């Protein structure tokens, strides 16, 4: 009888270890998914920043052109 209880206890211990291991693996998978999602969001954010930077540069170029045109017209008017 003692042998049967020992075997049952060992099986329960292994079962607990198995379930704990599964939970840890699931947690690692969840973390990997989160990291993958964060990477995707970072890439999208980077693209948005690049687009904004292009828009700012375009506006800056347009502003310089307008300033040069205005200065030229002012000089011509003098």
Distance CA 66, CA 70 (A): 6
Label residue 6 by pLDDT band (50, 70, 90): confident
Distance CA 18, CA 28 (A): 15
| pTM of structure | 0.61
Give the pLDDT mean for 56-67.
91
Query: For tokens 């998978």, what's the residue?
Result: 29
Ordered alpha helix ranges (H), 1-78: 2-77
């Amino acid at each position: 009888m003692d042998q049967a209880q020992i075997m049952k206890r060992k099986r329960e211990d292994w079962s607990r270890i198995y379930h704990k291991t599964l939970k840890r693996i699931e947690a690692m998978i969840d973390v990997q998914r989160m990291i993958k999602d964060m990477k995707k969001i970072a890439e999208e954010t980077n693209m948005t920043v690049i687009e904004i930077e292009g828009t700012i540069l375009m506006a800056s170029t347009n502003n310089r052109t307008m300033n040069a045109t205005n200065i030229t017209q002012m000089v011509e008017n003098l």
